[in-house]
Amino acid sequence: MGMGTFRRLLGFLRPHRPALWGSLVFAWAAMGMTVLIPWLIGQAVNSIESGDRDALLPLVGFIMGAAILRLGLTMVRRIVAGRVSLAVEFDLRQTLYNHLQRLELGFFDSQQTGQLMSRATVDLQAIRFFLGYGLIFFSQSLLTVLFAGAVMFAMNPWLAVIALAPTPLVILTAVRFTRQSRPAMQEVQQRMAELTAEAEENVTGIRVVKAFAQENNQLERFQGSVTRLFDQSIKSTRIQAFFSPLIGVLPQFGTAAVLLVGGTAVINGNLDIGDFTAFYTYMIILGSPMRMVGMALGMGQRAIAAGNRLFEILDREPEITSPKGAPALPEGDGHVALEGVSLRYSPDTPPVLRDIDLDVDGGSRIALVGPSGSGKTSLVALIARLYDPTDGRISIDGADLKTIEIGSLRGETAYVSEDSFLFGDSVAANIAYARVDASAEEVERAARLAQAHDFIVDLPDGYDTVVGERGLTLSGGQRQRIAIARAILADPRVLILDDATSSLDATTERRIRAGLDQAMLGRTTFVIGHRLSTISLADRIVLMEDGRISDTGSHADLLERSQTYRQLITAEEPEQIFIDEGIEVFS
């Protein structure tokens, strides 16, 4: 699995191969200067020993020139490598976000936001550093060992064998480090994701935390996540603390042997002091690449662990897709038909909808009522194809929703839920979310129909006021009215209002009825509600119980024959069972 993930990660470098090769070329050139300098130093020492002043000055100049050139090459390499690293991160973020947007709503129902955010931040950073820097460090270090070793063999084969004797041990240690660190790194990434999820949940739910004075309990939960991350990081650190120094120290045994054998040869006059100095300098130089190989392997293990988590998402195919070449939703008046529709959210859970048959004429208004958990929200979610039915068929204007292009379907449906989500943007941008090209006049008209204009103009910057995250700087009723205005401006063929007025007081709801009545003209509307003032907007009422349609008809019909309906209405507005307050549809 590790090598497969590694090869897939390398695939993200393909678009940046020219820059990557350029970075490698600069790295290798800098490495060439690194290998050249000890040889020049050895020649300079020999010239000093022989008293050759004429040779010394040029050699010193060459050493300075090689050092300056290495500095310049290293600087350019870092700039190019940094650009590759950031470009890879950019591509990874785009790929991940693109894929997340394609996944169906059911995927997000089972995921923690913090977990997803961790994969989009912490995991991507680990991959970015390895692909942008780790590979270059590894190749540069490996080539430094090979080139320096070749020069050492050319200078003195016997000493080179002694100096490089620990190399097989370094390789074996690195392999063992790789095997032990990979699962440890994977666990660290998972604990980091859990910590991110915990932090995100605490911040998002801070109102509930403070409302119930649970700060200490939340702190204990967060400390638990921090402790688990700390403990796992310690395990990973222990592995690295053992193997990294070991990889660094093994070459020192070769250095000690060279000092003994080579020093003896110099004392006996069998080796020039300059050649020995150059040889010893190569030994010192080799220590850093050996350590860098260990570091690069650690970066690689973290990247593979992060890649495994990233590919868990990227490998998940969307369950709700459009067939290749799918046509757009055909023209029509919004006729909606559900035939034998059943729905269960997962194979191991009971169905939430059972054998639903419902035919809704285009332009008509349907009110869905029923006890909590009866399947009302699930039914309207199917119409917008936020989920697909387990069994049965749903069509709009004769077209099976599974056969048409999803974008065209969503462009003809507008969904307003009880929990009205607003983005951290201006009020006008939130209203115009589905139609970014809408004029200011169109935005204001939608706001007026939703009874939102009056409170919007009283905001500090009117329609340009930026609402807080999730719109929490506004009241629930204000958020709902902005969401309703957003749906009105979208001008859909099918309008879905899922308890969209639940946060409004009775007076505001009565005022908004006229605007909604106008917005519903000529479009098919599904209304989920409990108040008579909301239900009165419908032409027909559908009563749902236990995931089935138990009855359908007018308000008067259902009052007469359905005890469940009478109980629902009595619980909501007992004084209005038989008093319609001038509501024509029920008179």
Cα torsion angle, 299, 303, 304, 309, sign: positive
Cα torsion angle, 50, 53, 54, 56, sign: positive
Among 89-98, 124-133, 197-206, the range of highest mean pLDDT? 89-98
State residue 341's pLDDT score: 93
* Residue 208 burial (CB count, 10 A): 10
Average pLDDT in the 534-549 region? 86
d(CA 388, CA 420) in angstroms, rounded, equals: 23
> Within this chain, do residues 97 and 228 fall inside the same structural domain, yes or no?
yes
* Residue 542 burial (CB count, 10 A): 22
State residue 360's pLDDT score: 92
User: For residue 334, which of 407, 395, 250 has the smallest C-alpha distance?
Assistant: 395
Among 438, 468, 491, the domain boundary falls at 491
Tell me whether residue 268 is in a domain: yes
> Within this chain, do residues 405 and 475 fall inside the same structural domain, yes or no?
no
- Among 282-286, 397-401, 438-442, 525-529, the least confident range: 282-286
Tell me whether residue 322 is in a domain: no
| pLDDT over threshold 80, residue 584 | no
Average pLDDT in the 419-432 region? 85
Sheet holding 413-416, edge to edge: 413-416, 494-498, 524-528, 365-369, 540-545, 548-553
d(CA 286, CA 82) in angstroms, rounded, equals: 25
Maximum distance among all alpha carbons in the chain? 120
Query: Residue 358: enclosing H or E segment and its boundaries?
Result: strand 353-360
State residue 211's pLDDT score: 65
Among 314, 349, 366, the domain boundary falls at 314
pLDDT digits (tens, 9 = 90+) for 213-230: 777 887 888 888 888 888
| pLDDT over threshold 90, residue 27 | no
Query: Residue 125: enclosing H or E segment and its boundaries?
Result: helix 124-129
> Within this chain, do residues 406 and 423 fall inside the same structural domain, yes or no?
no
Q: Which two tokens stand for residue 269?
A: 């006059």
> Within this chain, do residues 408 and 427 fall inside the same structural domain, yes or no?
no
Of the pLDDT bands very low, low, confident and very high (cuts 50, 70, 90), residue 494 is: very high
Q: What percent of the chain has pLDDT over 90?
A: 12
d(CA 348, CA 441) in angstroms, rounded, equals: 50
pLDDT digits (tens, 9 = 90+) for 444-466: 999 988 888 988 999 888 899 88
> Within this chain, do residues 166 and 306 fall inside the same structural domain, yes or no?
yes
Which domain range does residue 559 map to? 334-412+494-503+525-579
pLDDT digits (tens, 9 = 90+) for 316-357: 888 888 888 889 989 989 999 999 999 998 888 889 999 999
> Within this chain, do residues 266 and 377 fall inside the same structural domain, yes or no?
no
Average pLDDT in the 498-527 region? 76
State residue 587's pLDDT score: 30
> Within this chain, do residues 253 and 388 fall inside the same structural domain, yes or no?
no
Of the pLDDT bands very low, low, confident and very high (cuts 50, 70, 90), residue 30 is: confident
State residue 519's pLDDT score: 77
pLDDT digits (tens, 9 = 90+) for 397-416: 999 999 999 888 888 888 88
Q: Considering the chain, what is the average pLDDT of its residues?
A: 82
State residue 212's pLDDT score: 64
Tell me whether residue 572 is in a domain: yes
Contact status, residue 288 vs residue 142, Cβ threshold 8 Å = no
* Residue 454 burial (CB count, 10 A): 11
Among 178-182, 235-239, 346-350, 549-553, the range of highest mean pLDDT? 549-553
- Among 1-10, 308-317, 410-419, the least confident range: 1-10
CA geometry: angle 57, 62, 64, nearest 5 deg: 95
What CATH number is attached to the domain comprising 98? 1.20.1560.10
| pLDDT over threshold 50, residue 586 | no
H helix runs in 343-475, sequence order? 376-383, 406-411, 427-431, 440-449, 453-457
What CATH number is attached to the domain comprising 339? 3.40.50.300
| pLDDT over threshold 70, residue 513 | yes
d(CA 318, CA 99) in angstroms, rounded, equals: 8
| pLDDT over threshold 70, residue 578 | no
d(CA 218, CA 198) in angstroms, rounded, equals: 9
Of the pLDDT bands very low, low, confident and very high (cuts 50, 70, 90), residue 526 is: very high
Contact status, residue 367 vs residue 541, Cβ threshold 8 Å = yes
Tell me whether residue 310 is in a domain: yes
Of the pLDDT bands very low, low, confident and very high (cuts 50, 70, 90), residue 88 is: confident
Among 264, 279, 314, the domain boundary falls at 314
| pLDDT over threshold 80, residue 573 | no
> Within this chain, do residues 267 and 238 fall inside the same structural domain, yes or no?
yes
Of the pLDDT bands very low, low, confident and very high (cuts 50, 70, 90), residue 389 is: very high
| pLDDT over threshold 50, residue 582 | no
Half-sphere exposure of 148 (CA within 13 A, CB side): 28
> Within this chain, do residues 362 and 263 fall inside the same structural domain, yes or no?
no
User: Helix or strand or coil: residue 369?
Assistant: strand
Average pLDDT in the 193-201 region? 75
Tell me whether residue 29 is in a domain: no
User: Residue 525's beta-bridge partner residues?
Assistant: 365, 495
- 161: phi > 0 → left, psi -120 to 50 → alpha, else beta; which? alpha
User: Residue 339's beta-bridge partner residues?
Assistant: 393
> Within this chain, do residues 407 and 542 fall inside the same structural domain, yes or no?
yes
How many domains does the chain divide into?
Answer: 3
CA geometry: angle 45, 46, 49, nearest 5 deg: 85
> Within this chain, do residues 164 and 234 fall inside the same structural domain, yes or no?
yes
Tell me whether residue 8 is in a domain: no
Contact status, residue 421 vs residue 491, Cβ threshold 8 Å = no
Tell me whether residue 566 is in a domain: yes
State residue 580's pLDDT score: 41
| pLDDT over threshold 80, residue 292 | no
- Identify the residue with better confidence: 287 or 585: 287
d(CA 402, CA 228) in angstroms, rounded, equals: 45
Q: Which two tokens stand for residue 27?
A: 């790295």
Tell me whether residue 205 is in a domain: yes
Contact status, residue 464 vs residue 431, Cβ threshold 8 Å = no
- Identify the residue with better confidence: 579 or 11: 11
d(CA 334, CA 22) in angstroms, rounded, equals: 58
State residue 270's pLDDT score: 83
| pLDDT over threshold 60, residue 579 | no
> Within this chain, do residues 272 and 406 fall inside the same structural domain, yes or no?
no
